[in-house]
Structure 1
């Protein structure tokens, strides 16, 4: 029996760059929760951003945010993991060397960006609707850091993949570095991923992994897809993601509809 469904957002529940849930998705998730199944939004996104995205059903679901560094149930913090301050600032020093990437530093209650690129500021604050503070230099942040993410919206996957290899060579022994979508690279707190955040929710809810299903499309979803009883890779997922899943689907909504039809 399925007791919990976890889904990645960008590229999975949200397709083709969408920044809003479809009415069908909202209705299906609402019906899923009314049947007593826990729905978990599991994303690299900020917690407050995710709550805004889910609108009227925000309090009916649980959250694994910042790629597993935060987990919330009923708006209560269940789990938090941060990056060592010295490591975080070494990473930020390295990122300053490059001029092709914009950087977001995520803390529990807000994220920080620099205001050098108006288009990037607009994307973070108005498109993604993150709770954001704009500062002159990210290296001056004093709050514990959950995640560092860099973005290149112009040059795309080729530049991302090349720089990813460089960063993994430099920091890969100390921190997990993965792509998140076609334009982002995420530095995730050590020993943390979406499966870790999800595990803390399952422990609280007394649900077993085999009673769960999950959906994902990127390398930051791999551990979660392997952790649950049934993992679904999206048909347009990053190369190799289907290897870590039990099934492939074109649509999260279609699978949710099938589950509801069988209850």
Structure 2
């Protein structure tokens, strides 16, 4: 299978030097309109697709991001590997602003989002015990270290609904749970990628310490903006190294991410809702 890398992130990520045959394409999805058009091209000989999660100009809140349409659109474009790049707060003193974390676990505290492609008329249960792909995370870690980024391998991401930030009491509670970073966008994104049988890795770019930190209130907004801009440069450097690490051709995922639906669909074929099955053509057509 040919590798096609999908990057979901902010506006600074897809302004890539060396992206050849760059074109913005609109992808129709039965799950609604994606966040924006998708920038496609090749980088280092490998096909790439860049999706602005919040839309260009940041028009979607974390709650209103059309997560199902985004993942479905990337699947329709033939994306085999998704790297999520997102700004996060840190719960750990040793994970400082400007550092990156390769996330491997999530606690999902969101509550106002559609979290599955499946439902009444076609029920499926996939495993998210290991919600990120270790092979893809390995590549992100190697790319980050080669780019000179201070990068931490492994961490639990607390996904909150937002758009408000945490109270101090909430922040201290999440720390007591063993969480490492906090953000608003990786859920249900990671769950949907698993349902779509696409390998998924999460790179958290730390912009600040969450409200638990005694110095949190003393941080000037200009410092956070400077950190955000610096993180964007680092993220581009990381992404630029991924094609050489992942290569143009891709073997089946050794962890089974691309076969997550193998035994997941529970509804008997003669009981499946034809309308829902039709909407699942890209996501689950392999098994339906």
Q: TM-score range by the shorter chain?
A: 0.3 to 0.5
Instruction: State which structure, 1 or 2, has the greater radius of gyration over its C-alpha atoms.
Output: 2
- Kindly indicate whether structure 1 or structure 2 has the higher relative contact order, using CA contacts under 8 Å at least 6 residues apart: 2
User: Structure 1 length normalisation: TM-score?
Assistant: 0.33
